[in-house]
C-alpha cells in the first residue's frame, strides 16, 4: 500500500513538472516571438517581425502607424513593442497557444501584437472597405495600431485594472485612437456623418455587421473626448455609463439636423 502511494505521488509530481515545463515554454514563446519570424526591423521602440522581407511598403505602413499613435494621449514612444505581421498559419499557432479563435484580425499580449494579415485581406475583399474608419475595412495599419493602443492603455491604466474596464471603453478608445489623427486631416470626415453611417442599415453588409458595436463605441469615445472635452482619465471613470453616453450622443446628433430632416434607416 505504501509503495502504491509513493508511486502515485511520484507520477503526480512528474505530471505537475511536465505541465510547468509546457506552461513555461508557452510563455517563453509568447513573450519572445521574434525567433519564429525570419525578418525584423526596428522603428524606434517598435520592432516589426514578419515572414517576408521588409521593404518600402512596411516602412510606409509604419510611418502611418506612428502618425496615428502620436495623436493618442497615452502613447509612450519609449515602450518596447513587437508587432508580428503573420500569415494565417503563423497567427493560428499563436492564437492556439492563448486558446483564442484563429479567424480573427489580431490580439495583443505582453507587449507583442499579433496581426493576421491574411484574414485582414480577406475582410477587405468581402466588405469592400466599408464602412470607412472601421476595423473591418481591411487595413493592416488600422488593426496593428488598434492592438498597439491596447498595450499602451494597459500600461497607462495598469494591466490588471484595465481588464476590469468595460469592453466598450477599451475597444472604443482603441478605435478612437486609430482614427483620431486621420480624421483631422480628412475634410470629408464628420462625427455626425459617421453616426448616420452607424444607424444606416444599408451601410452594413452581413460580414461587416459583426463589428458594428466597435464602430459605435469608437464614436462614443470620440464624442466624449472631442465634443465634451473629457480627458482619458475622466472617460475611464465609473461615472461614465454606456447607455447614458449613447443616448446623449444620439440626442446631440439629432440637434444638428436641419428642421424637417429625418435620420436614415
pLDDT tens digit at each of 265 positions of the chain: 776 766 767 677 666 666 776 766 666 677 778 889 999 999 999 999 999 999 999 999 999 999 999 999 999 999 999 999 999 999 999 999 988 888 999 999 989 999 999 999 998 888 777 788 887 788 999 999 999 999 999 999 888 888 899 999 999 999 999 998 887 778 878 999 999 999 998 888 776 667 889 999 999 999 999 999 999 999 999 999 999 999 999 999 999 987 656 665 5
Which fold does the domain 36-255 belong to in CATH? Collagenase (Catalytic Domain) (3.40.390)
pLDDT digits (tens, 9 = 90+) for 175-200: 999 998 887 778 878 999 999 999 99
Domain boundaries, the chain: 36-255
Distant-in-sequence contacts of 63-70, Cβ < 8 A, 24+ apart: 64/141, 65/141, 65/144, 65/145, 65/148, 67/181, 67/182, 68/141, 68/145, 68/177, 68/178, 68/179, 68/180, 68/181, 68/182, 69/145, 69/148, 69/149, 69/152, 69/177, 70/181
| Integer Cα distance of 118 and 135 in angstroms | 14
Tell me which residue of 167, 160, 155 sits closest to 72, measured CA to CA: 155
pLDDT digits (tens, 9 = 90+) for 48-58: 999 999 999 99
| Integer Cα distance of 241 and 87 in angstroms | 38
pLDDT digits (tens, 9 = 90+) for 98-126: 888 889 999 999 899 999 999 999 988 88
- How confident is the model at residue 239, as a pLDDT? 96
| Integer Cα distance of 84 and 42 in angstroms | 12
Look over the chain and give the mean of its residue pLDDT values, rounded to a whole number. 88
Percent of the chain exceeding pLDDT 70 equals 88
CB proximity list for 62: less than 8 A, separation 6 or greater:
43, 46, 48
| Residue the block writes with cell 485612437 | 177
- How confident is the model at residue 6, as a pLDDT? 65
- How confident is the model at residue 230, as a pLDDT? 97
Amino acid at each position: 500500500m505504501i509503495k502504491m502511494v509513493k508511486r502515485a505521488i511520484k507520477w503526480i509530481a512528474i505530471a505537475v513538472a511536465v505541465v510547468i515545463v509546457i506552461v513555461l515554454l508557452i510563455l517563453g514563446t509568447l513573450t519572445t516571438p521574434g525567433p519564429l519570424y525570419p525578418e525584423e526591423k526596428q522603428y524606434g521602440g517598435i520592432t516589426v517581425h514578419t515572414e517576408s522581407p521588409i521593404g518600402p511598403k512596411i516602412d510606409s505602413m509604419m510611418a502611418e502607424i506612428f502618425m496615428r499613435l502620436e495623436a493618442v494621449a497615452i502613447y509612450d514612444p519609449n515602450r518596447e513593442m513587437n508587432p508580428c505581421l503573420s500569415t494565417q498559419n503563423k497567427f493560428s499557432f499563436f492564437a492556439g497557444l492563448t486558446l483564442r479563435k484563429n479567424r480573427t484580425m489580431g490580439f495583443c499580449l505582453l507587449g507583442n501584437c499579433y496581426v493576421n494579415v491574411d484574414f485582414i485581406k480577406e475582410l477587405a475583399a468581402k466588405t469592400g472597405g466599408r464602412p470607412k474608419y472601421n476595423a473591418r475595412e481591411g487595413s493592416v495599419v488600422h488593426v496593428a495600431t488598434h492592438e498597439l493602443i491596447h498595450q499602451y492603455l494597459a500600461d497607462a491604466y495598469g494591466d490588471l485594472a484595465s481588464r476590469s474596464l468595460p469592453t466598450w471603453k477599451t475597444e472604443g478608445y482603441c478605435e478612437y485612437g486609430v482614427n483620431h489623427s486621420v480624421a483631422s486631416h480628412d475634410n470629408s470626415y464628420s462625427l455626425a456623418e459617421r453616426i448616420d453611417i452607424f444607424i444606416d442599415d444599408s451601410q452594413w453588409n452581413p460580414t461587416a455587421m459583426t463589428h458594428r458595436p466597435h464602430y459605435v463605441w469608437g464614436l462614443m469615445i470620440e464624442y466624449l473626448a472631442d465634443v465634451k472635452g473629457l480627458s482619458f482619465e475622466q472617460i475611464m471613470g465609473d461615472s461614465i455609463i454606456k447607455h447614458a453616453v449613447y443616448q446623449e450622443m444620439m440626442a446631440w446628433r439629432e440637434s444638428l439636423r436641419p428642421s424637417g430632416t429625418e435620420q436614415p434607416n
